[in-house]
Structure 1
Amino acid sequence: MISIIIIWALIVLFILQPGVAHDGAEAGAQLFVHALLPYLLPYIILTQWLLKIPSPRKSTRSWKRYMKAYILGSFGGFPVGAVTVSEMLKNGELTRRESGFLLAACHAPGPMFILGFVGTELLGEVSAGWKLLASIHIANLLFFLFTLLLLKKEQKTDETKHNHMDNKTTNSPFLDSVKASSSVIMLVATTVIFFSSLGNVLTSVISTIFTVDLGITKTILLAIFEMTSGVQSATDHFFTNPVFPFIIAAIISLNGLSIHMQVFVISKSVNLPITPYVMSRAFSVVAVPTILYFLL
Structure 2
Amino acid sequence: MINLIIIWGLIVLFILQPGIAHDGAEAGAALFVNALLPYLLPYIILTQWLLKTPMKSNSKRNWKRYFKAYVLGSFGGFPVGAVTVTEMVKNGELTRRESGYLLAACHAPGPMFIIGFVGTELFGSSIAGWKLLASIHIANIIFFIFTLLLLKKTQPKMEIPQQVSKIKVSNSPLLDALKDSTNVIVLVATTVIFFSSLGNVLTSTILSTFTVDLGITKTILLAIFEMTSGVQSATDHFYTSKLFPFIIAAIISMNGLSIHMQVFVIAKTVNTPLLPYFFSRLWSIITVPVILYFLL
Same fold, TM exceeding 0.5? yes
In angstroms, what is the RMSD of aligned CA positions?
1.3
CA distance in 1, matches of 2:165, 2:142: 30
- 1:126 aligned residue: 126
Shift of 1:157: 1.9
Paired residues in the alignment total 296
Measure, in 1, the Cα distance between the counterparts of 2:266 and 2:200.
26
Aligned letter for 2:267?
S
1:155, CA displacement in angstroms? 7.3
- In structure 2, what residue type is equivalent to 1:258? S
Following superposition, which runs of at least 4 residues in structure 1 exceed 3 angstroms of deviation?
153-156, 161-167
Aligned twin of 1:107 = 107
2:152/2:158 contact within 8 Å kept: no
Deviations 1:237-259 (A, max 9, x none): 00000000000000000000000
Would you say 1:243 and 2:249 are equivalent positions? no
- 1:34-88 alpha-carbon deviations (Å, 9 max, x no partner): 0000000000000000000011111000000000000000000000000000000
Matched, 1:265 2:265: yes
Any residues of structure 2 matched to 1:211-290 within 5 Å, and which?
A: 211-290=211-290
TM-score by length of 2: 0.98
Amino acid at match of 1:217: T
Residues in 2 aligned to 1:282 and 1:21: alpha-carbon distance in whole angstroms? 30
2:189 is matched with 189
Q: Deviations over 1:5-32 (max 9, x none)?
A: 0000000000000000000000000000
Structure-2 separation of matches of 1:7 and 1:113: 33
Partner Cα distance (1:218, 1:64) in 2: 44
1:159 deviates by 4.1
- CA deviations on 1:77-134 (whole Å, 9 max, x unpaired) are 0000000000000000001100000000000000000001111111111111011000
Between the aligned residues of both structures, percent identity stands at 77
Verify the 8 A CA contact 2:69 2:106 in the aligned structure 1: yes
Q: State the 1:162 CA deviation.
A: 4.2
TM-aligned CA deviation for residue 174 of structure 1: 0.3
Unaligned runs of 5+ in 1: none
Equivalent in the alignment of 2:20: 20
Matched, 1:180 2:180: yes
Secondary structure of 1:78's counterpart equals coil
Alignment-mate amino acid for residue 148 of structure 1: L
**Which residue type is aligned with residue 252 of structure 1?**
I
Q: CA–CA distance in 2 between the matches of 1:289 and 1:101?
A: 22
The change in CA–CA distance for 1:165 and 1:129 in structure 2 (over 3 A counts) is farther
Quote the residue 1:150 is aligned against: 150
2:57 equivalent in structure 1 = 57
